[in-house]
Structure 1
Amino acid sequence: MTPSRPYKETPSYTATQNACKLCTPLGASLVFQGIEGCVPLLHGSQGCSTYMRRYLISHFKEPVDIASSNFTEETAVFGGGANLKLAIENVARQYAPSMIGIATTCLSETIGDDVRLILNSMDNSINGTALVHVSTPSYSGTHVDGFHGAVAAVVDRFNPADKRIVYRPKKKKTINLFPGMLSNEDLRHLKDIFEDFHTPVTILPDYSERLEGPSWQEYQAIQKGGTTLSAIEKMNVSVHSMEFGAVLALAAEKGQATAGGILNKRFGVSCTRLPIPIGVKATDRFLDILSQISRRPVPERYKKEKWRVVDTYVDGNKYVSKKRALIYGEEDFVVSMAGFLAEVGIIPVLCASGGKSKTFKAALEQTLPENLIDQVIIQNDMDFTCMEETAAAMPEALRPELIIGNSKGYAMARRLKIPMVRVGFPIHDRVGGSRILHVGYKGAQQLFDTIVNAILTEKQTESRIGYSYM
């Protein structure tokens, strides 16, 4: 008699419910929107393009065109090379763009379409339109991974290793800034800062005008604005590069290719990586480094802005001191927001993200004070269902009193009955999401005011009689 096999317990499987991230090609599409004359093209099904457009339009409140190679069942079986070539030809003919940014979707990646080979057969351009490809399967990353991947792909395409470095006068030397996925208002404020330092800057990407332009008398196929290709082509002769992101910096140390890293390796352009300048301490660091690179003192206006926001911290300390917050969103954004909250006296008891970088915890440990990090629960590869369960299960004395993040957490905040402050991307249920200022002393001022007012509103709402004075 054959002995029976021992019982083997099958591990339970839990599906992601309301992921705390978006599809990888969305980030790439946003980068392409930040380049002058560029049209994004997704190599995959029409539904993917529609999904990306819906999210970007809802947040920016601007028309967004994203082309598609329009996969069908037949394409999925026999390959999408012919569809991609036809899509590129159609976009080039109808839009006459300076560049087509091609991002691959899960379907085209799964069937193994060799997009690079297809583009090589077209000489990486068609009728004067440059073609740039970035691999963005959503099953291996987040929208921020797609964003950084697209920035690196654009820099790689227009700054090849064999490019001859042309001498440029010192007075025209430019700084490259790779700010990451920030708001339109953040990008505009950063441009103002460089202008006040009398230092030329090339920001990649810059969608601040293209995705927040004026009303039109007639429809524009491609909105005005964005980083010019000529500026991108000259990044290899810049005096320095700056990249924002504590998580990105740790990933670069582990070998991940970044735009700043490519320019440094090929052309010796030095690169400084630092956290997103949210809050006083992070802004101090950014302005100090910019002052050193530009060899210009920090303008007086920023010294005044700093002391105004510090005074505001003092005025509002009694309302925020030892309050507890749940922060979620992109990893680098969460890390920088956590640092800001810590400096104003709020404890970020739960920091969550849908990212899987494996450096999220290390970046938070570098950012938060030692006496605070032990009070913080750090969760990555997280969805909103698990996040909500974690918050609800925390002891009353440790439970979050404030939720800070994008609109996707609204249902969670409503069920937990915790006031919510909307920041980051996407913001679908409020007007002005693209105009929220996060960076610099001004950003710290606005964030602090918004957070304090959210706490005061909750107190007034819960009070039996309310109150008219603070």
Structure 2
Amino acid sequence: MATISKPISSTRNACKLCAPLGASLVFKGIEGCVPLIHGSQGCSTYIRRYMISHYKEPVDIASTNFSEEAAVFGGGQNFVTGINNIIKQYNPAVIGVASTCLSETIGEDVDALIRDYTGQNKHTPLFFNVSTPSYCGTHMNGFHQAAIAAVARFAKSGKTGSHINIFPGFVSPADIRYLKELCIDFKITATLFPDYSETLDNVHTREYQLVPSGGTTIAELEKTGSALATIEFGTVFNRGVKNSVGNSIASAGEWLLDKMSVANNQIGFPIGIDASDKFFNVLAGLTQSPMPEKHQKERGRLIDAYVDAHKYVFGKRAVIYGEEDFVIALAAFLHEIGMKPVLVASGAASGVLKSALDEIVGPGNDICIADGSDFATMREIMQELKPDIMIGNSKGYYIAREMKIPLVRAGFPIHDRFGASRIHHIGYRGTQELFDRIVNALIEYKQENSPVGYKYI
């Protein structure tokens, strides 16, 4: 296994996004919450642009709108003005505040700003804030920081109940709806957090909703501290990154285990049969009930599909890129179906990627790892690797086009295709859909590049 770690003087087309964007996703997964970015207007505009383009929903992200004066003398007055405007226009139940590079660099004390505001004003919304300077991580660090901050702010300890927590990480709205369906099938009450399955993929309404319906309620967040157990998807979380609540705590589930003794079950993203089996086994163990027949049949159909399509995928060389937890799950899935991940790339650099892949594929493999990478570096590496397919977000399209290989779009952001909110990734059903897309992309490539053009393949 080769790890690419050459000196980089500048990032050329980053394979990551900014930390406040990840925090904003968590804010959008809380009922009645309006995100506030404490920094320049450009930061909130950047976040809105990415989220609107991917989810195809209106996304309001407020900003304290730093000017040169605020950058020198502090943004306290901007903060007050911003909060007053949010309350006046949106009347939110919750305001989630994320700092930016600028407000962090000048040393803004957001905790103090919130205390001063709530001390001087009655009947204010609920507040919680998170430190998210982008020079200390990626959008996934911001996501997990915000998830930890929300649980730390709202969770209440109490007598252990029969409900569970499911913290799925950065998955699609369709994946979250699938998890809700699973909870119904297993007859279990669960708090899914964050839940942006409606706020970022809502039904059509005649009137514009200033604050979209849906999201994890504050009452549900309060109950996370008395849950029977937590299930959270991921391997990396915030490991390798110092955070505001203690470097040893890398996830919301770890915080609940440490502070409120809620048992925590960390499993990789359930993509593939083996990973999905682990997830369903945890669910079955917590509920003391077998897997429902519907899902047993979905598993069986997936196995049958693996057999049917083995001749199309075996030995194919793939490049996968995106968030670390996501690419680790994809690497395990590709290994399972007989494809060879030749390059695994991410803009993050937790230091966990190599050991995670060694555990999946075995040490001594020849996978090329590019963590802390950008797309220009990936492009250079791929010239020698000669892959058959790329799997990742839309930002890699120009490389796939240049190398004339198919790109299967998955993850975030997807700007050049429709329906990103409805892409399934997890469970037997999500794996089936992803597998079909990969197989068909390879078949289409062979068909389009054949001198005769197969009608039957």
TM normalised by structure 1 equals: 0.92
Identity %: 50
1:93-145 deviation digits (Å, cap 9, x = unpaired)? 22111100000111111111111121122348862411110000111100011
When residues 126 and 54 of structure 1 are mapped into structure 2, their CA distance, relative to the original with a 3 A threshold, is: farther
Deviation (angstroms), 1:256: 3.0
Match of 2:146 in 1: 150
1:465 aligns with 2:452: yes
1:390 aligns with 2:386: no
Match of 1:5 in 2: none
The letter of the residue matching 1:384 is F
Alignment gaps of 5+ in structure 1 = 1-10
The letter of the residue matching 1:326 is V
The letter of the residue matching 2:432 is Q
Matched position secondary structure for 1:293: helix
When residues 12 and 176 of structure 1 are mapped into structure 2, their CA distance, relative to the original with a 3 A threshold, is: closer
Asked if 2 retains the 8 angstrom alpha-carbon contact of 1:283 and 1:441, the reply is yes
When residues 126 and 257 of structure 1 are mapped into structure 2, their CA distance, relative to the original with a 3 A threshold, is: farther
- CA–CA distance in 2 between the matches of 1:299 and 1:454? 32
Match of 1:240 in 2: 229
- CA–CA distance in 1 between the matches of 2:74 and 2:415? 36
Asked if 2 retains the 8 angstrom alpha-carbon contact of 1:133 and 1:153, the reply is yes
Matched position secondary structure for 2:171: coil
- CA–CA distance in 1 between the matches of 2:185 and 2:289? 10
The letter of the residue matching 2:375 is F
Bigger shift: residues 209-218 or 101-110: 209-218
Match of 1:68 in 2: 63
Match of 1:364 in 2: 357
Match of 1:430 in 2: 417
- CA–CA distance in 2 between the matches of 1:156 and 1:434? 28
Match of 2:370 in 1: 379
1:134 aligns with 2:130: yes
Asked if 2 retains the 8 angstrom alpha-carbon contact of 1:59 and 1:425, the reply is yes
Number of residue pairs matched by the alignment: 447
Asked if 2 retains the 8 angstrom alpha-carbon contact of 1:92 and 1:126, the reply is no
Q: 2:78 aligns with which of 65, 76, 83?
A: 83
Asked if 2 retains the 8 angstrom alpha-carbon contact of 1:41 and 1:102, the reply is yes
1:119 aligns with 2:114: yes
Q: 1:105 aligns with which of 96, 100, 103?
A: 100
What's the RMSD between the two structures over aligned residues?
1.8
When residues 331 and 257 of structure 1 are mapped into structure 2, their CA distance, relative to the original with a 3 A threshold, is: closer
The letter of the residue matching 1:392 is Q
Asked if 2 retains the 8 angstrom alpha-carbon contact of 1:89 and 1:126, the reply is no
Matched position secondary structure for 2:13: coil
1:406 aligns with 2:393: yes
Asked if 1 retains the 8 angstrom alpha-carbon contact of 2:239 and 2:350, the reply is no
Deviation (angstroms), 1:417: 1.5
- CA–CA distance in 2 between the matches of 1:13 and 1:195? 49
Q: How do residues 307-318 of structure 1 correspond to structure 2 at under 5 angstroms?
A: 307-318=300-311
Deviation (angstroms), 1:250: 6.0
Match of 2:3 in 1: none
1:37 aligns with 2:42: no
- CA–CA distance in 2 between the matches of 1:105 and 1:335? 28
Asked if 1 retains the 8 angstrom alpha-carbon contact of 2:144 and 2:250, the reply is no
Asked if 2 retains the 8 angstrom alpha-carbon contact of 1:92 and 1:127, the reply is no
Asked if 2 retains the 8 angstrom alpha-carbon contact of 1:245 and 1:332, the reply is yes
- CA–CA distance in 2 between the matches of 1:179 and 1:366? 22
Asked if 2 retains the 8 angstrom alpha-carbon contact of 1:176 and 1:201, the reply is yes
1:33-73 deviation digits (Å, cap 9, x = unpaired)? 11100000000011110110000000000000000000001
Asked if 1 retains the 8 angstrom alpha-carbon contact of 2:315 and 2:338, the reply is yes
Q: How do residues 123-202 of structure 1 correspond to structure 2 at under 5 angstroms?
A: 123=118, 127-159=123-155, 163=156, 165-167=157-159, 173-202=162-191
Deviation (angstroms), 1:324: 0.4
Larger relative contact order (CA 8 Å, sep ≥ 6): 2
Alignment gaps of 5+ in structure 2 = 1-5
- CA–CA distance in 1 between the matches of 2:48 and 2:122? 25
The letter of the residue matching 2:53 is S
Deviation (angstroms), 1:251: 5.8
- CA–CA distance in 1 between the matches of 2:70 and 2:117? 20
Asked if 2 retains the 8 angstrom alpha-carbon contact of 1:319 and 1:455, the reply is yes
When residues 430 and 167 of structure 1 are mapped into structure 2, their CA distance, relative to the original with a 3 A threshold, is: same
The letter of the residue matching 2:38 is H
TM normalised by structure 2 equals: 0.95
Q: 1:282 aligns with which of 275, 278, 283?
A: 275
- CA–CA distance in 2 between the matches of 1:292 and 1:59? 36
The letter of the residue matching 1:307 is G
- CA–CA distance in 2 between the matches of 1:426 and 1:84? 30
Deviation (angstroms), 1:167: 3.8
Structure possessing the higher radius of gyration over alpha carbons: 1
- CA–CA distance in 1 between the matches of 2:183 and 2:26? 21
Structure 1 stretches of 4+ moved >6 Å: none
Q: 2:437 aligns with which of 435, 440, 450?
A: 450
- CA–CA distance in 1 between the matches of 2:261 and 2:8? 48
Deviation (angstroms), 1:191: 1.0
